[in-house]
Amino acid sequence: MKTSLAVAAAVLIVTAMAPGVSRAACTQQDAMGKATQLSQLVQAKMASDPSQGQALMAKMQPIMQSYQGSATAGGTVDWDKVCEEYDALIKQAQ
């Protein structure tokens, strides 16, 4: 019995530590929050370095257009992917 509990506990710990498992899935609201954060960073970057700001904006627009197009057409949106793309751009903008 103790061995079963120890194995079960070990499985739970490993599962919780696995990449992507310990966090909740990204929601549309999460993605919109990240888009807002990124927009603010891009605006600040435009003020300090317009060429970098424009480059970030050029990378941000296709992401926005992609999920807006899918949502408008009644398709599904991979919010995890959208959040990952926004996170990468936020990192670049900081």
CB 59 within 8 A of CB 85: no
Which pLDDT score is estimated for 49? 87
Interval 40-92: pLDDT, tens: 988 888 888 888 888 888 888 888 788 777 777 777 888 898 899 889 989 98
Domain boundaries, the chain: 25-93
More confident of the two residues 25 and 9? 25
Amino acid letter for position 16: A
Q: What is the dihedral of CA 28, 30, 35, 38, to 10 degrees?
A: -160
Which pLDDT score is estimated for 77? 82
Which pLDDT score is estimated for 83? 92
CA R_g for the chain: 19
Which pLDDT score is estimated for 4? 34
What values do phi and psi take at 14, rounded to 5?
-65, -40
